[in-house]
């Protein structure tokens, strides 16, 4: 199993440009998440999905969009990139959140710089 | 709203020392609490998960404890090694909510 994979690993955007961060998991997990991590800070939840066709906002959704057409894929779209979106983005997945033993599996991250 | 803090922000110890990392949370109605390891430039890897009904979990040289009444969890690392150098994050999971992460403790173990 590859687990959770993310592409690209690094990207530099100009202000106002758009891009899509890709995330794929091969563990047949229902739940998928997008986080951002700023230096010295914990992870902030952007969006999450509890299954194909179902998405919901997290703590910091402004400036982002998501879709979930398949169980495996959960892309994150940045429209009109701004310097405040410079961060490291992590995708994660879990089987559910309804069991006390559920944990999240993380991808390696995408380092995004907006200039 | 759940808030998670971690002290210290950074820690440097000589190889072989035993050490304790601290995690505090404001809402004690947690489902579970997890400790993750993050290597530079990498994603997070789950180390230990403590369910709300448990007091501690152990894996090798790692021991995590949970005290819901005081809103605290500790991660004990025995006989530290340079390979333990990484950031350690704790995350609280409340019923019906998503994980809330602390800012992490950056650990350096010096040879």
Interval B65-87: pLDDT, tens: 999 999 999 999 999 999 999 99
Q: Which of B48, B24, B47, B28 minimizes the C-alpha distance to B101?
A: B24
Contact A89, A110 (CB under 8 A): yes
Is B99 in contact with A104 (Cβ distance < 8 A)? yes
For CA atoms B12, B18, B24, B29, the dihedral sign is positive
The reported pLDDT for the residue numbered B41 is: 84
Q: Categorize the per-residue pLDDT at B97 as very low, low, confident or very high, splitting at 50, 70 and 90.
A: confident
Residue A2: the pLDDT is 80
Task: Provide the shortest C-alpha distance from residue B104 to chain A (in Å).
Answer: 7
Nearest CA in chain B to A41: B103
In chain A, DSSP finds a helix count (H) and a strand count (E) of 0, 11
pLDDT exceeds 90 at position B42:
no
User: pLDDT of A7-66, one tens digit each?
Assistant: 999 999 999 999 999 999 999 999 999 999 998 788 999 999 999 999 999 999 999 999
Between CA A15 and CA B78 the distance in angstroms is 47
pLDDT at residue A78 in the model: 96
CA pair distance A90, A107, nearest whole angstrom? 6
Contacts of A90 in chain B (CB under 8 A): 43-44
Could you tell me the two tokens for A103?
């944990």
**Higher per-residue confidence, B35 vs B31:** B35
Q: Residue B23 pLDDT more than 70?
A: yes
Residues 88-107 of A with CB under 8 A from B: 90, 92, 97, 100-101, 103-107
In angstroms, the CA B25 to CA B35 distance is 13
B108 falls in which pLDDT band (50, 70, 90)? very high
Q: Does A31 contact B at CB distance below 8 Å?
A: no
Closest among A44, A38, A14, A11 to A112, alpha carbons compared: A11
All residues of chain B having their beta carbon less than 8 Å from the beta carbon of residue A96 are: none
Please indicate whether, in this complex, the C-beta atoms of B42 and A4 are within 8 angstroms of each other.
no
Report d(CA A19, CA A112) in Å as an integer: 10
* CB contact B46 to A (< 8 Å): yes
| Contact flag B44-A4 (C-beta cutoff 8 Å) | no
**Contact map slice: B 58-87 vs A, CB within 8 A:** none
CB half-sphere exposure, A100, CA atoms < 13 A: 9
Residue with tokens 């992460």: B101
pLDDT surpassing 80 at residue A98 = no
The pLDDT of residue B3 is: 94
- Using 50, 70 and 90 to split pLDDT, how confident is the model at A100? low
Cα separation, B46 vs B90, whole angstroms = 10
The rounded distance, in Å, linking the Cα atoms of A57 and A65 is 9
Angle, vertex CA A27, rays to CA B73 and CA A94, nearest 5: 30
CA dist B49 and A6 (Å) reads: 25
Model pLDDT, residue A40: 78
- So what's the pLDDT on residue A84? 95
Res. A88: pLDDT tops 80: yes
- Report chain B residues whose CB lies below 8 A from the CB of A4: 43
How distant is the Cα of A16 from the closest Cα of chain B, in angstroms? 26
Q: Is the pLDDT of residue B31 over 70?
A: yes
The set of residues, in sequence order, having a beta carbon less than 8 Å from that of A48 and lying 6+ positions away, is: A31, A32, A33, A34, A55, A56, A58, B98
Residue A86 neighbours by CB distance under 10 Å: 17
Q: Please tell me the least confidently modeled range out of A72-86, A96-110, B33-47, B65-79.
A: A96-110
């Amino acid at each position: 199993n590859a687990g959770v994979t993310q592409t690209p690993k690094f990207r530099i955007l100009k202000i106002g440009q758009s891009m899509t961060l890709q995330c794929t998991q091969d563990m047949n997990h229902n739940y998928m998440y997008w986080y951002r991590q700023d230096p010295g800070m914990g992870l902030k939840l952007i969006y999450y999905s509890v299954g194909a066709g179902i998405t919901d906002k997290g703590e910091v959704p402004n400036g982002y969009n998501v879709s979930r057409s398949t169980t495996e894929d959960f892309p994150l779209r940045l429209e009109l990139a701004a310097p405040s979106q410079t961060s490291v983005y992590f995708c994660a997945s879990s089987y559910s959140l309804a069991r006390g033993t559920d944990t999240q599996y993380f991808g390696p991250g995408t380092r995004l710089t907006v200039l | 709203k759940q808030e998670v803090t971690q002290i210290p922000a950074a820690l440097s110890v000589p190889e072989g020392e035993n050490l304790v990392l601290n995690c505090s949370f404001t809402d004690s109605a947690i489902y579970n609490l997890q400790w993750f390891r993050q290597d530079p430039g990498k994603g997070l890897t789950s180390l230990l998960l403590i369910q709300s009904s448990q007091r501690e979990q152990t894996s090798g040289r790692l021991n995590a404890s949970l005290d819901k009444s005081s809103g605290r969890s500790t991660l004990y690392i025995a006989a530290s090694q340079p390979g333990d150098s990484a950031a350690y994050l704790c995350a609280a999971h409340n019923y019906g909510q998503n994980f809330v992460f602390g800012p992490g403790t950056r650990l350096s173990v010096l040879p």
